[in-house]
Structure 1
């Protein structure tokens, strides 16, 4: 199915952010690597003809996915990320496109794998619908994403400065599952668990977001102008959260295994 739709302005901003971060992503993606490893462990040992890495980033799942599939297609909004992914898996095909309007025919993929990408989509129900459309019957969808109460430390500290959170707000665990399943996908397994990472400084915590491109804000009300004085106040507030382990940054992670059945 050709994709002639114009990418929305918000998605263009997401693409620009990840394009800028393509050169620094792998050096700052320890969190993403941990989540990927967890999702890989949850993936059943299946052999497929055609696999889609939905929101592939720099292609860190490529080695695993090519071990499961005869052919891998990498899809991402960012052309620069796709270039990095090609360097890691020259046998895979690259497609620059939107996960909410997949440029593929129906019922062609045995496996769709997506680690920490669908949180950038505006409508999770459309993700479920598109995944179901392009999956074969009995095909598998493995996905990790963020849920409500992610990055509470950043939200708390910014509220002390200007009353806003300066973070994206994610659906609850229950809402997330409901929206993705609404197209008729069957839930095989779900896990919701927190992960806290620790940093030497507040700036290092923020760099773990900026250097991987994950600093685009969805809600317009959270896109506040930040002056140098406000930034210094924020860093001071964040420093107050330091413990013996360092500066915390916590995520609520959801891992799902869904399936398309013949019904």
Structure 2
């Protein structure tokens, strides 16, 4: 997900972890868009895997799915937010190795995994070069990484409604991601950039879907007035489709391979 601002780079990780930890109890109930996007990765996964890492595992939904798909495999779920990991442990127990950590500094040795999975997490990482270098380091020769992440322009309707384009997270663009992959020993086996749209009944439902999965519009020095909210509703209504108010996710799906 993708709306958060912070005052300095030094506080970035702490604020991301805090926002997602707060959202953890209600995350799964509001994460239908994230689930649908993650499903894109499922068909491309290899038949067999022996040590699997879920980067940005959240409450563990996909980690558990991986454990069921690879029942004789050692599965590790990694997340920056302790609240997310607490939910994952509570729901899915100790059969999975739950690990707090940062995708840009993975707390594992070299060649520790033959498959890495990551659904809508890497857009939160400011140093995409470090992320790709770390994925390459922890993958065994011939290993694979299957990733979805977000591109700039995600949630553009919300920025328009609130007239706050600066509020949107600015994830790495496609060129930056491709360059980062090129700097590592990973190669792109397949990629696709798509726009996924989801629809909601009203502005309240839109904002609940965003806040409920750990993202939120930044607080400003002045509180929003009723007039501000009414103006945002009116602007958003200009975008209404027969299905409802649209929310767009600009997605990048990647299958990466490490050279044997």
Fold similarity call, TM over 0.5: yes
- Is 79-88 or 24-33 further displaced after alignment? 79-88
Q: Which residue of 1 aligns with 2:3?
A: none
Deviates more, 1:169-178 or 1:71-80: 169-178
Say which of 243, 246, 253 aligns to 1:245: 243
User: Which residue matches 2:85?
Assistant: 82
* Contact 1:141-1:259 at 8 Å conserved across structures: yes
- Could you tell me which residue of structure 2 aligns to residue 227 of structure 1? 223
- CA distance in structure 2 between the aligned counterparts of 1:190 and 1:96, rounded to whole angstroms: 28
Shift of 1:226: 5.3
Distance apart, 1:164 and its partner CA: 4.1
Deviation, 1:36, is 1.2
- 1:1-40, Cα deviation, whole Å (9 max, x unpaired): xxxxxx9411100000011001000100000110111111
What is the correspondence of 1:11-160 to structure 2 with a 5 Å cutoff?
11-45=13-47, 47-66=48-67, 67-68=69-70, 70-86=73-89, 87-159=91-163
Normalising by structure 1, we get a TM-score of: 0.88
> What stretches of structure 1 of length at least 5 have no aligned partner?
1-6, 218-222
Matched residues in 1 for 2:122 and 2:231: separation? 32
User: What does the per-residue CA deviation read over 1:73-130, in whole Å, with 9 as the maximum and x for residues that have no partner?
Assistant: 1110111211222222531011111111111111111111100001110011110000
Contact 2:123 2:172 in 1 (8 A): no
Q: What is the SS of the residue equivalent to 1:24?
A: helix
Offset at 1:225?
4.0
- Give distance in 2, aligned partners of 1:227 and 1:206: 16
Bigger RCO (CA 8 Å, 6+ sep): 2
CA displacement at 1:143 relative to structure 2: 0.6
8 Å CA contact 1:57, 1:81 repeated in 2: yes
The answer to whether the Cα contact below 8 Å between 1:54 and 1:99 also exists between their aligned partners in 2 is yes
Please state whether the residue corresponding to 1:61 is helix, strand or coil. Answer: helix
Query: How many angstroms apart in 2 are the aligned matches of 1:225 and 1:58?
Result: 32
C-alpha contact 2:126 2:171 (8 A) present in aligned 1: no
Supply the distance in 1 between the matched residues of 2:102 and 2:14 (Cα, whole angstroms): 10
Compared with structure 1, are the counterparts of its residues 205 and 181 closer, same or farther at alpha carbon in structure 2 (3 Å cutoff)?
farther
CA RMSD of aligned residues (A): 1.9
SS of 1:186 mapped into structure 2: strand
Q: Which runs of 5+ in 2 are unaligned?
A: 1-8
Is residue 62–residue 88 contact of structure 1 (8 Å, CA) maintained in 2? no
